[in-house]
Structure 1
Amino acid sequence: MTEGTPMRHLPYVGSGPYCYANSFAMLLGAQAPSTAVIEVTTAGPFGMQLIGGTLMFFDGYGWNPELGFDRALAALGWTSTVSKGGDADEALARLAAAARRGPVWVGPVEMGHLHHQPEMTGPIGADHFVVVLDVDDRRVLMHDPHGYPYAQVPIGDFTAAWRADTVSYGEAFTMRTDFVKTADVADADAIRSIIPAAIGYLSACPDLEMPPGSLANGEAAERTAQLIEAGAGDGMREHLIYFAIRVGARRLSDTADCLLLAGYDEAAAIAATQARLVGSMQHPMVTGDLPAAAAALRELAPTYDRLRAVLR
């Protein structure tokens, strides 16, 4: 890009860790909005959080995926039935009965127990969502949106994953069925409906009580920059390069597209800038140029207040 020439935002199309949005899109079928609209209507992309001072995500302070699901469905004009809990045998019987009626949205599950994914040998604390197609006494047949259609997973592995006892939120054996469209909602109207929630996250008003040491938005960006400069240890580098940067840049790119669609042109420009800054961290984090990654975070830090101001 020539110096001084503003970069035009281009919507991203491609792979990425969009498991719950992709799973919802499969269940909603021909009437599904884009995965971008599904993702943004959770209100997740609005902000940054450093949980307990150590675990960072490019999403709203105090947000987790489960908190956004009912919000997204309501914004889009859909409902579903949620069931969870019980013991493993009860849960599997419930899942098998539901799968006989149609595909079932399942999660969170612990990705590390899904051994059809290469290099997954045990729990890693990673949440994931899948669509279950069939269950018998030996295996679960699923569409795994991480890139594995019609994956067959042994019952024992699936049950261990679905118990989700190494995932930081949610309850064991959670699934959604009976997806029903209750209203025709334009994509732009769905995006407009979640703006108050977006402002709340950008104002650091969490939905959940946060652990001591947690930081939001600009403060989270500055502290994460310091941790990166100190070596990005204790798994931070791996978390960033394999997940957080990829999903963060993708959802911010989608946020820019959705805000533009809804008529928030100035906010869309800020989100596009955020997407470029987050995406710019991938190469330096992989190659070890930690000061460059930290510098991108410091440039990102003030954009959260700017985005909140223009959305208000």
Structure 2
Amino acid sequence: MTNYQGNGAYCYANGGSMLLASIGETVSPSLLEVASGFSLGASLVRHDLLHFDQAMSSPDQALNHAFHHLGFQVTENVKGNDASMPIDELTEALKNGPALLGPLDMGMLTYLPNHPFLHGCDHYVLAIKIEGDRLLLHDPAGYPYVWFPIAQLENAWRAKSIEWSSGAYRYWTSPKRMENASDGVLAQRLLSFYEKIYRRHQNEYQSGSAIIYQKATDMQRDLVSMAEKEHLRHFAFPVGARRALDFSQFFQQSSPTFSSLKKAQAEIFGECYTYASYEDWRMVGETLEKLGGVEQEIERLFRENIES
């Protein structure tokens, strides 16, 4: 299998990897993504746009799942929606090590060149230290050692428009290794977790292969908005391909059937993106039908009991 290394919208996985690296642990973003289980299935929960992830979770919950499955204890902090920004608390926490902040509203991260077009998009960054009225951070979107004004941090970090994440001002600190499971043990743990996810999804109307098929039909009938087409072209298709490939590579030995299906999905995501890049939306619709077919096979695999 040909590996992929390169850029991608892996903000929470990259951020989690950087946080664990602060205690000398080398955990790849790809492994964190797989351990989170977030990018399984498909959903319409956020803005009624097609996302290739599970509707019953969010990236912050996914991070907690990933840390737990990988054997780490990490302190999560979150405030109520009406709370004030805990800047003094964060300042103290950063004296003992970095903190992973998120979700943040990308549209309010003014150092990003295209931030005016990103309102409502969730993001995660690694906070390093606070000096005066500025926060030093690593942004996994490609911007290390950025200084961001504290005055602008409040609205970005409160992230009122990120409705799928509960609370405000969420951050993680103080990771500690509690267990070091073998790849085989981890694989079986994750397969059991995925099976629970798919069993929960089977009665959901707006999830899984059914909505992929519906979007495929809508795309071929030219019923999909330009906003959704841009979402698929700029985000969902390319990140979907990378995520599927990560799953495929991790499970090559422990679950070859699942691995093969995820590899097929990765290739189909790439094909979807190719047609989308040339605005051939009819062919995008036809290719989405193939994606729905593979997702249906994955659903059947887990619901009928995953291979051991």
TM-score in same-fold range (> 0.5): yes
The 1:159–1:88 alpha-carbon spacing in structure 2 relative to 1, beyond 3 Å, is farther
What pairs up with 1:104-253 in 2 under 5 angstroms?
A: 104-121=99-116, 124-170=119-165, 171-205=167-201, 215-229=206-220, 230-233=222-225, 235-253=227-245
CA distance in 1, matches of 2:118, 2:235: 16
Aligned twin of 1:290: 281
Aligned twin of 2:295: 304
Unaligned runs of 5+ in 1: 1-8
The 1:231–1:174 alpha-carbon spacing in structure 2 relative to 1, beyond 3 Å, is same
Whether the aligned pair in 1 keeps the contact of 2:16 and 2:63 (CA below 8 Å) is no
CA distance in 2, matches of 1:169, 1:50: 12
CA distance in 2, matches of 1:183, 1:299: 40
CA distance in 2, matches of 1:253, 1:18: 13
Whether the aligned pair in 2 keeps the contact of 1:99 and 1:133 (CA below 8 Å) is yes
What pairs up with 1:253-268 in 2 under 5 angstroms?
A: 253-261=245-253, 263-268=254-259
1:68 aligns with 2:62: yes
For 2:251, the aligned partner's letter is L
Whether the aligned pair in 2 keeps the contact of 1:113 and 1:157 (CA below 8 Å) is yes
Whether the aligned pair in 2 keeps the contact of 1:45 and 1:255 (CA below 8 Å) is no
Deviates more, 1:114-123 or 1:161-170: 114-123
* SS state at 1:134 partner: strand
TM norm structure 2: 0.90
CA distance in 1, matches of 2:113, 2:218: 29
Q: CA RMSD in A?
A: 2.1
Deviates more, 1:41-50 or 1:248-257: 41-50
Whether the aligned pair in 2 keeps the contact of 1:188 and 1:258 (CA below 8 Å) is no
Whether the aligned pair in 1 keeps the contact of 2:201 and 2:208 (CA below 8 Å) is no
The 1:187–1:153 alpha-carbon spacing in structure 2 relative to 1, beyond 3 Å, is farther
Following superposition, the deviation at residue 309 of structure 1 comes to 3.6
The 1:228–1:310 alpha-carbon spacing in structure 2 relative to 1, beyond 3 Å, is same
Greater RCO (Cα-Cα under 8 Å, separation 6 or more): 1
Aligned twin of 1:42: 36
Aligned twin of 1:32: 26
Following superposition, the deviation at residue 286 of structure 1 comes to 2.4
Following superposition, the deviation at residue 234 of structure 1 comes to 5.3
1:19 aligns with 2:15: no
Following superposition, the deviation at residue 125 of structure 1 comes to 1.0
The 1:299–1:219 alpha-carbon spacing in structure 2 relative to 1, beyond 3 Å, is same
Unaligned runs of 5+ in 2: none
The 1:175–1:274 alpha-carbon spacing in structure 2 relative to 1, beyond 3 Å, is same
The 1:253–1:34 alpha-carbon spacing in structure 2 relative to 1, beyond 3 Å, is same
Per-residue Cα deviation, 1:116-168 (whole angstroms, up to 9, x for no partner): 11121376211100000111342111000000000111112221110010112
For 1:125, the aligned partner's letter is G
The 1:204–1:275 alpha-carbon spacing in structure 2 relative to 1, beyond 3 Å, is farther
For 1:307, the aligned partner's letter is I
For 1:226, the aligned partner's letter is T
Equivalent position to 1:93, from 88, 93, 105: 88
Whether the aligned pair in 2 keeps the contact of 1:61 and 1:201 (CA below 8 Å) is no
* SS state at 1:235 partner: helix
Following superposition, the deviation at residue 227 of structure 1 comes to 3.2
Per-residue Cα deviation, 1:47-90 (whole angstroms, up to 9, x for no partner): 11122793111112423212222221111110111111156655
Following superposition, the deviation at residue 228 of structure 1 comes to 2.5
CA distance in 1, matches of 2:146, 2:247: 31
Whether the aligned pair in 1 keeps the contact of 2:201 and 2:207 (CA below 8 Å) is no
CA distance in 2, matches of 1:289, 1:204: 35
Following superposition, the deviation at residue 297 of structure 1 comes to 0.8
* SS state at 2:115 partner: coil
The 1:267–1:193 alpha-carbon spacing in structure 2 relative to 1, beyond 3 Å, is same
Aligned residues: 298
Give % identity: 26
